Amino acid sequence: MSCTSHPVVSPEPLKPDEKYQGVVLSAENMIPQFVYRTGMGEKMDGGVRIGMLPIHGSGVDMTFVLRDEGKRLHTINFAGTYAEQASFETTYYNVSRKKRTKTVRRDGKVFKQTEKDVFNYGYLGMRYAYIPKGLWGDNIHLFGLLYGVNFRKNWGAEFGYFHDFSGRTPVSEYGFNPKYAPLTGVSLRIWFGKLTKE
Protein backbone atom coordinates (compact mmCIF):
# COMPACT_ATOMS: atom_id res chain seq x y z
CA MET A 1 0.00 0.00 0.00
CA SER A 2 2.07 2.88 -1.27
CA CYS A 3 -0.31 5.56 -2.49
CA THR A 4 2.42 8.18 -2.43
CA SER A 5 4.77 9.72 0.11
CA HIS A 6 5.51 13.12 1.60
CA PRO A 7 8.79 14.79 2.63
CA VAL A 8 10.06 14.79 6.20
CA VAL A 9 11.10 18.39 6.73
CA SER A 10 12.94 20.27 9.42
CA PRO A 11 10.44 23.01 10.43
CA GLU A 12 13.40 25.37 10.51
CA PRO A 13 15.76 24.59 7.60
CA LEU A 14 19.05 23.08 8.71
CA LYS A 15 22.14 25.27 8.80
CA PRO A 16 25.09 24.57 6.46
CA ASP A 17 26.93 22.66 9.22
CA GLU A 18 23.92 20.53 10.20
CA LYS A 19 22.92 17.10 8.91
CA TYR A 20 20.03 14.82 9.82
CA GLN A 21 19.65 11.06 9.36
CA GLY A 22 16.58 9.15 10.42
CA VAL A 23 13.69 6.81 9.68
CA VAL A 24 10.04 7.64 8.95
CA LEU A 25 7.03 5.36 9.48
CA SER A 26 3.83 6.39 7.71
CA ALA A 27 0.30 5.04 7.40
CA GLU A 28 0.17 5.92 3.70
CA ASN A 29 3.38 4.08 2.84
CA MET A 30 3.49 1.19 5.37
CA ILE A 31 7.17 0.47 4.64
CA PRO A 32 9.90 2.41 6.53
CA GLN A 33 11.90 5.01 4.66
CA PHE A 34 15.37 6.35 5.35
CA VAL A 35 15.72 10.13 5.47
CA TYR A 36 18.78 12.32 4.97
CA ARG A 37 18.74 16.15 5.15
CA THR A 38 21.52 18.70 4.97
CA GLY A 39 21.75 22.47 5.21
CA MET A 40 22.44 24.15 1.88
CA GLY A 41 22.56 27.76 3.01
CA GLU A 42 21.45 30.00 5.86
CA LYS A 43 17.83 29.87 4.69
CA MET A 44 17.47 26.59 2.80
CA ASP A 45 18.03 22.87 3.14
CA GLY A 46 17.46 19.75 1.07
CA GLY A 47 16.44 16.18 1.75
CA VAL A 48 16.46 12.71 0.24
CA ARG A 49 14.11 9.84 1.13
CA ILE A 50 14.93 6.26 0.19
CA GLY A 51 12.29 3.56 0.50
CA MET A 52 13.31 0.04 1.47
CA LEU A 53 12.01 -0.77 -1.99
CA PRO A 54 12.67 2.01 -4.55
CA ILE A 55 8.99 2.29 -5.52
CA HIS A 56 7.92 2.79 -1.92
CA GLY A 57 8.29 6.51 -1.41
CA SER A 58 11.77 7.52 -2.54
CA GLY A 59 12.06 11.23 -3.29
CA VAL A 60 13.83 14.57 -2.99
CA ASP A 61 12.77 17.96 -1.61
CA MET A 62 13.99 21.45 -0.73
CA THR A 63 12.76 23.93 1.91
CA PHE A 64 13.20 27.71 1.79
CA VAL A 65 12.58 30.36 4.47
CA LEU A 66 10.07 32.95 3.32
CA ARG A 67 10.03 35.06 6.48
CA ASP A 68 11.55 34.83 9.97
CA GLU A 69 9.59 36.62 12.71
CA GLY A 70 11.53 35.31 15.69
CA LYS A 71 9.03 33.07 17.46
CA ARG A 72 7.30 32.35 14.16
CA LEU A 73 8.74 31.16 10.88
CA HIS A 74 7.22 30.89 7.40
CA THR A 75 8.71 28.36 4.98
CA ILE A 76 7.85 26.64 1.68
CA ASN A 77 8.82 23.15 0.54
CA PHE A 78 8.97 21.68 -2.98
CA ALA A 79 9.07 17.90 -3.29
CA GLY A 80 9.05 15.11 -5.85
CA THR A 81 8.30 11.47 -5.01
CA TYR A 82 8.87 8.25 -6.91
CA ALA A 83 6.22 5.74 -5.80
CA GLU A 84 3.40 3.63 -7.20
CA GLN A 85 1.68 7.00 -7.47
CA ALA A 86 4.53 9.42 -8.16
CA SER A 87 3.76 12.99 -7.09
CA PHE A 88 4.92 16.60 -7.09
CA GLU A 89 4.09 18.73 -4.06
CA THR A 90 4.26 22.26 -2.73
CA THR A 91 3.72 22.88 0.99
CA TYR A 92 3.55 26.14 2.95
CA TYR A 93 4.46 25.91 6.66
CA ASN A 94 3.57 28.35 9.46
CA VAL A 95 5.98 27.33 12.22
CA SER A 96 5.89 28.15 15.93
CA ARG A 97 9.38 28.09 17.47
CA LYS A 98 9.68 27.57 21.24
CA LYS A 99 12.89 27.66 23.24
CA ARG A 100 13.72 24.61 25.36
CA THR A 101 14.55 24.87 29.03
CA LYS A 102 16.23 22.41 31.37
CA THR A 103 16.39 22.13 35.14
CA VAL A 104 19.80 22.99 36.59
CA ARG A 105 21.01 22.49 40.17
CA ARG A 106 23.74 24.80 41.39
CA ASP A 107 24.86 25.60 44.93
CA GLY A 108 21.85 23.80 46.35
CA LYS A 109 19.42 25.83 44.24
CA VAL A 110 17.20 24.66 41.39
CA PHE A 111 16.38 26.90 38.45
CA LYS A 112 15.43 26.78 34.77
CA GLN A 113 18.04 27.42 32.12
CA THR A 114 17.26 28.12 28.46
CA GLU A 115 19.16 25.97 26.01
CA LYS A 116 21.03 27.95 23.36
CA ASP A 117 19.88 27.50 19.74
CA VAL A 118 17.73 24.46 20.65
CA PHE A 119 13.99 24.61 19.98
CA ASN A 120 10.78 22.62 19.90
CA TYR A 121 8.43 23.29 17.00
CA GLY A 122 4.76 23.09 16.18
CA TYR A 123 3.57 23.83 12.67
CA LEU A 124 0.48 24.12 10.50
CA GLY A 125 0.80 23.53 6.78
CA MET A 126 -1.16 23.78 3.54
CA ARG A 127 -0.20 21.28 0.84
CA TYR A 128 -1.01 20.85 -2.84
CA ALA A 129 -0.04 17.57 -4.47
CA TYR A 130 -0.29 16.59 -8.13
CA ILE A 131 -0.24 12.90 -9.07
CA PRO A 132 0.16 12.59 -12.88
CA LYS A 133 -1.05 9.00 -12.98
CA GLY A 134 -3.12 7.57 -10.15
CA LEU A 135 -3.97 3.93 -9.51
CA TRP A 136 -6.89 4.24 -11.95
CA GLY A 137 -4.79 5.98 -14.62
CA ASP A 138 -6.16 9.48 -14.07
CA ASN A 139 -4.66 12.77 -12.91
CA ILE A 140 -5.19 13.55 -9.23
CA HIS A 141 -5.14 16.93 -7.49
CA LEU A 142 -4.94 16.88 -3.69
CA PHE A 143 -5.18 19.91 -1.40
CA GLY A 144 -5.39 19.99 2.37
CA LEU A 145 -4.05 20.84 5.81
CA LEU A 146 -1.51 19.22 8.08
CA TYR A 147 -0.31 19.71 11.65
CA GLY A 148 2.98 18.52 13.09
CA VAL A 149 5.36 18.72 16.02
CA ASN A 150 9.14 18.44 16.04
CA PHE A 151 11.46 18.14 19.04
CA ARG A 152 15.06 19.36 18.87
CA LYS A 153 15.02 18.59 15.10
CA ASN A 154 15.46 14.93 16.07
CA TRP A 155 11.98 13.40 16.09
CA GLY A 156 8.39 14.34 15.45
CA ALA A 157 4.93 13.42 14.23
CA GLU A 158 2.49 14.76 11.66
CA PHE A 159 -1.17 14.33 10.76
CA GLY A 160 -2.91 15.66 7.68
CA TYR A 161 -5.90 15.31 5.39
CA PHE A 162 -5.74 16.07 1.67
CA HIS A 163 -8.94 16.16 -0.35
CA ASP A 164 -9.03 14.52 -3.77
CA PHE A 165 -10.66 17.22 -5.89
CA SER A 166 -10.68 14.96 -8.94
CA GLY A 167 -13.28 12.89 -7.06
CA ARG A 168 -12.20 9.71 -8.80
CA THR A 169 -11.34 7.31 -6.02
CA PRO A 170 -14.09 4.67 -6.32
CA VAL A 171 -14.90 3.16 -2.94
CA SER A 172 -18.54 2.20 -3.42
CA GLU A 173 -17.56 -1.47 -3.29
CA TYR A 174 -16.54 -0.93 0.34
CA GLY A 175 -19.97 0.42 1.24
CA PHE A 176 -18.93 4.05 1.53
CA ASN A 177 -21.13 6.93 0.50
CA PRO A 178 -20.69 9.07 -1.55
CA LYS A 179 -19.55 6.88 -4.41
CA TYR A 180 -16.30 8.74 -4.88
CA ALA A 181 -14.66 9.39 -1.51
CA PRO A 182 -11.02 10.44 -0.99
CA LEU A 183 -9.90 7.66 1.34
CA THR A 184 -6.27 8.13 0.30
CA GLY A 185 -6.22 11.69 1.65
CA VAL A 186 -5.28 10.83 5.25
CA SER A 187 -1.62 11.07 6.25
CA LEU A 188 -0.23 9.96 9.62
CA ARG A 189 3.54 9.76 10.18
CA ILE A 190 6.20 9.61 12.88
CA TRP A 191 9.97 9.91 12.44
CA PHE A 192 13.07 9.73 14.55
CA GLY A 193 16.78 10.12 13.99
CA LYS A 194 19.83 12.16 14.89
CA LEU A 195 20.92 15.72 14.13
CA THR A 196 24.66 16.23 13.86
CA LYS A 197 26.82 19.32 13.51
CA GLU A 198 30.19 19.41 11.79
pTM of the model: 0.83
Q: What is the pLDDT of residues 168-177, one digit of tens each?
A: 555 555 555 4
The pairing of beta strand 186-197 with beta strand 18-26: antiparallel
pLDDT at 1: 38
Q: Phi first, then psi: what are they for 184, rounded to 5°?
A: -75, 0
Q: Which residues contact 186 (CB under 8 A, 6 or more apart)?
A: 27, 28, 160, 161
Q: How many CA atoms lie within 13 A of 6 on its CB side?
A: 35
Distance CA 47, CA 194 (A): 14
Q: Please indicate whether residue 95 or residue 54 has the higher confidence score (pLDDT).
A: 95
- The predicted-structure confidence for 4-51, as pLDDT tens digits, reads as follows 578 899 999 999 999 999 999 888 777 788 999 999 999 999 999 998
Q: Which of 171, 175, 198 is nearest to 183 (CA)?
A: 171
State residue 138's pLDDT score.
Answer: 67
